[in-house]
Structure 1
Amino acid sequence: MVSEIDLRSYLTRVGFPENEDPAADVATLDRLIALHADAIAFENLDPFLGVPNRIDLDAIVAKLVDGRRGGYCFEQNLLFAAVLERIGFTVTRLAARVLWGGASPDDPGARTHMLLAVDVAGQRRIADVGFGGMTPTASLPLTIGAVGATPLEPFRFTAGQGATYVLDALTGDAWRPVYMFDEQAHLPVDYEPINWYLSTWPQSRFVTTLTAARPTPTHRYALAGRRFTIHRPGRPLERRELASAHELRDVLEESFGIDTRALDLDAAFARA
């Protein structure tokens, strides 16, 4: 299905040059992933402030493109899928079980993450602009054992149980599992129940923990509660605790590029 998304508005939002037309090739795919991840931060401010996320395309565009906000995986990857299809890519929407944070491939949780498979130049590649602090900033060839380079960390796919793949990231000197998935196609409506659950369930981390993440070409910004972190590969983490709602606003606007004018950051800071 080809989306009716306003492609030029999106391209302007992420900084794609106005005098260029994007092509459906690997180089453009990687360029768009890097631009999108840098321009549109991962964030959960709405669920954290008691506003459930809507994931119909009109709502996503109004928030992430026109409203200059960020969002989490369903918002990010549903938007990106629509953009890629508008350009002419063939996209399959997938769902993953998150392993990052300690879950085992032998005892995983539910399929709570969305990612994309993109068929381009005779190859299937994974594109994912919505995994927060470990979002890959380039597409990855869906080949067991192949290491995919990105401007930040390398990633690879290993074989999981049955017909599943496990995405690993090299952090420091160790490979760590990020998520596991198969190639079962999903429709946008398939994400509605889990989106509602994640953005409204009282124990969901998207409801309980203020979170933001943004990868740049050289480093990653992360916010968890009041703790702001800068991670530069190969260097010690830089961390500080935010001391006020004013500092929170400055960090969200300057480091994450989030338009905070409509957000109650006094309430957000008090809960963080």
Structure 2
Amino acid sequence: MIPKNQSAIDINALFRKRIGMQVENITFESLSNILEKTAENIPFENLCIIENRTSNITKESLIEKILVKNEGGLCYELNLILYFFLKENGFDAALIGGVIYNNDIKKYQKLGRTHVVILVTYKEQKYLIDTGFGGNLPLKPVPLTEESVSSKNGEFRVKRVNGEYGDYVFEMRLKHRDTDWKIGYAFDTKKSISDLSEINMIQKIIAEHKDSPFNKSPLITRLTGGGNLILTNNSFTQRTEGVVSKETIDSMKFKELLKQHFGM
């Protein structure tokens, strides 16, 4: 089972400190601000997998990794820690598995439901919340009504489908990057994640599967006020208001940039 009330005080205080938010009462209207601050302060990164130091995921291990040691994580870590925070603040939230779509080859990935996202129900309406999709974050709750929402990162919507991989599809049109809508992933609202063993299985697939995009080389990214930063083992890319600068780096520069821009 996914634990509910353990470490409530720790996660409340530490999560707010990690993202720089001191608001006492968290409401549905607060979520956009929370999502922006989370995207700008907690990086999407795969260093645990690359460095072969993954461990069993528990509520306590996530608090230690992300909120105490100030590391980041992949979707199943970032959205899980946010899920715990939202539950502690009284939200009706559930975890759902999604299947990522590869727009380059126009096919869904072979890894299965390895993208973990959150569904929040508010006033009888369901909303998708995702803080674990790299630079493709909506930064707002997205209603499951096909209505698009806009943020500084672009436009986003969720469409109802009758597909092989689920009953809804998340679509995006990123600011300064996309002219047409692109599929992000499909998900099935009838198949929620109810046990941490499912999260740990997802981590195992991401860490070991030959088709996993996250077990080949390091990737660290986070959003900024006007764009995003992307660090790999051989390059550092900065996007600011549509302007892209990219530099080639070595291992020493990698460590320097990792600390300077990501606090790791």
Deviation at 1:199, TM superposition (A): 1.8
1:14 matched to 2:19 = yes
Unaligned runs of 5+ in 1: 260-272
Regions of 4+ moved over 4 Å: none
Q: One-letter code of the match for 2:169?
A: V
| Greater per-residue strand proportion | 2
Deviations 1:55-97 (A, max 9, x none): 2111111110000111111111111100000010010100100
User: Please, what TM-score do these two structures have when normalized by structure 2?
Assistant: 0.87
Q: Secondary structure at the match of 1:164?
A: strand
The 3 A distance-change label for structure 1 pair 237 and 59 is same
Q: Number of matched residues?
A: 251
CA shift for structure 1 position 4: 2.3
Secondary structure of the 1:69 match is: coil
Q: Within 2, Cα distance between the matches of 1:108 and 1:208?
A: 16
1:152 aligns with 2:153: yes
Conservation of the 8 A alpha-carbon contact between 2:234 and 2:251: no
Aligned to 2:52, the other structure's residue is in SS state coil
Mapped to 2, the partners of 1:210 and 1:182 lie a distance apart of: 30
Name the % identity: 22
Q: 1:251/1:165 Cα in 2 relative to 1: closer, same or farther (>3 Å)?
A: same
Give TM-score, length-normalised by structure 1: 0.85
Q: Is 1:168 aligned to 2:174, yes or no?
A: no
- The CA RMSD over aligned residues, in Å, is 2.0
| Secondary structure in 2 matching 1:205 | coil
1: CA distance between counterparts of 2:105 and 2:115?
A: 14
Residue 15 (structure 1) shift: 0.5
**1:72 counterpart residue number:** 74
Does residue 224 in structure 1 map to residue 226 in structure 2?
A: no
Distance 1:13 1:141, change over 3 A: same
CA contact (8 A) 1:202 1:208 kept: no
- On the 8 A contact 2:49/2:207 being kept in 1, the answer is yes
Residues 21-170 of structure 1: pairs in structure 2 closer than 5 A: 21-23=24-26, 25-102=27-104, 104=106, 108-109=109-110, 110-144=112-146, 146-162=147-163, 164-170=167-173
Unaligned runs of 5+ in 2: none
Distance in 2 of aligned mates of 1:39 and 1:185: 28
